């Protein structure tokens, strides 16, 4: 087993974790990132690298993969050690107040740990009528838009991802149809209006009842729950955008104060375990808003408070990072 010693270990290499790595370097601390995925970037890299993100400050719109590339470049001067494809399994407190995290292959002893995700697995909610069609036209997210060029695409769901993918795929797909079992959508109202303006059919109060084809999906059947009317439409890509269930894995056994599978933190992002912090979507507190931009601030707050926990003589606020840019 490989052994590592760092000032800060960040568990989770998504946006909040990557920004935390930059900030740890800014504070002059060594940092490692551990993540159960094979690449940095978290859910963005795994699920929607091509999708535009609109709520990050300074970017009216930026593709997920470009945001991650920028964060990696920003963190690069901090020389972070990446421990990818590794799930943190155990947490041990040491007499000197350091924390040891063990994965399947590595042991990391850190003066402080910041959890930003990177442990649990996200399991897509199933579409019962499409059971057995995975890899034959059924997908749960769209990492590469180009794979669906010229195809009849049916998207099932009423949330932000369903409408975002409808927007993104519209210019390249042969046709787009969105089916939702309710008459109201969970997606942001502005995104729904944008899809409507594109003329994409929105079929509500309906569910996919059958999927047909030989070696690949060729058509689907849906049924209106009010009228019981059924209809078949051509389909080569079926996007089941029904959300994901999160399993936080071994973290549940670490003695952390959890609330609805989230880690409870205070205003300094401290957990109930000394020198263990949490930031990003995996953390919770009263009034929490789960946005990427919020996660950036939480990561910086966690790093600054970790710096003081490690060295009580350090200043909580290190000063601004502004300077000359060549």
**65-123 tens-digit pLDDT:** 999 999 999 999 999 999 999 999 999 999 999 999 999 999 999 999 999 985 556 77
Q: Please tell me the predicted confidence (pLDDT) of residue 119.
A: 56
**172-199 tens-digit pLDDT:** 999 999 999 999 999 989 999 999 999 9
The H or E element spanning position 106 is: strand 106-115
Q: Please tell me the predicted confidence (pLDDT) of residue 120.
A: 59
Between CA 268 and CA 159 the distance in angstroms is: 32
Q: Does domain 126-242 have CATH number 3.50.50.60?
A: yes
Residues of the chain with CATH 3.50.50.60: 2-122+245-310, 126-242
Q: Tell me how far CA of residue 290 lies from CA of 186, 247, 282, 296, 323, in angstroms.
A: 15, 18, 9, 11, 30
Q: Tell me how far CA of residue 195 lies from CA of 174, 175, 252, 280, 303, in angstroms.
A: 16, 13, 40, 29, 40
pTM, rounded to two decimals: 0.81
Q: Identify the architecture of domain 2-122+245-310 in CATH.
A: 3-Layer(bba) Sandwich (3.50)
Tens of each residue's pLDDT in the chain, 326 residues:
899 999 999 999 999 999 999 999 999 999 999 998 889 999 888 888 888 888 899 999 999 999 999 999 999 999 999 999 999 999 999 999 999 999 999 999 999 999 998 555 677 899 999 999 999 999 998 888 999 999 999 999 999 889 999 999 999 999 999 999 999 999 989 999 999 999 999 999 999 999 999 999 999 999 999 999 999 999 999 999 998 877 788 999 999 999 988 999 999 999 999 999 999 999 999 999 999 999 999 999 999 999 999 999 999 988 777 654 45
Residue listed under structure tokens 């989770």: 12
């Amino acid at each position: 087993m490989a052994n590592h010693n760092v000032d800060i270990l960040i568990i989770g290499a998504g946006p909040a974790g990557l920004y935390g790595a930059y900030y740890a370097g800014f504070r002059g601390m060594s940092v490692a990132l551990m993540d159960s995925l094979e690449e940095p970037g978290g859910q963005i890299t795994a699920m929607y690298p091509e999708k535009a993100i609109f709520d990050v400050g300074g970017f009216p719109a930026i593709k997920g993969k470009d945001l991650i590339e920028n964060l990696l470049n920003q963190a690069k001067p901090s020389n972070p050690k990446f421990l990818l494809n590794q799930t943190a399994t155990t947490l041990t407190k040491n007499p000197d107040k350091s924390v040891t995290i063990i994965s399947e292959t590595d042991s990391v002893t850190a003066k402080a740990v910041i959890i930003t995700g990177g442990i649990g697995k996200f399991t897509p909610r199933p579409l019962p009528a499409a059971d057995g069609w995975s890899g034959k036209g059924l997908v749960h997210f769209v990492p590469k838009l180009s794979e669906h060029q010229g195809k009849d695409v049916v998207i099932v769901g009423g949330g932000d991802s369903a409408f975002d993918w409808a927007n993104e795929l519209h210019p390249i797909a042969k046709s787009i149809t969105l089916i939702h079992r309710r008459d109201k959508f969970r997606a942001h109202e502005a995104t729904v209006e944008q899809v409507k303006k594109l003329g994409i059919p929105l079929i509500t109060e309906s569910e996919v009842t059958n999927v047909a084809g030989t070696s690949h999906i060729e058509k689907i059947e849906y049924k209106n729950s009010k009228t019981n009317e059924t209809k078949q439409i051509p389909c080569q890509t079926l996007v089941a955008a029904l959300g994901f269930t999160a399993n936080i894995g071994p973290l549940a056994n670490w003695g952390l104060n959890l609330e609805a599978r989230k880690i409870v933190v205070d205003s300094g992002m401290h957990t109930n375990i000394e020198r263990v912090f949490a930031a990003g979507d995996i953390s919770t507190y009263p009034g929490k808003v789960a946005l990427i931009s919020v996660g950036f601030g939480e990561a910086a707050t966690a790093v600054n408070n970790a710096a003081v926990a490690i060295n009580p003589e350090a200043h909580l606020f290190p000063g601004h990072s502004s300077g000359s840019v060549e």
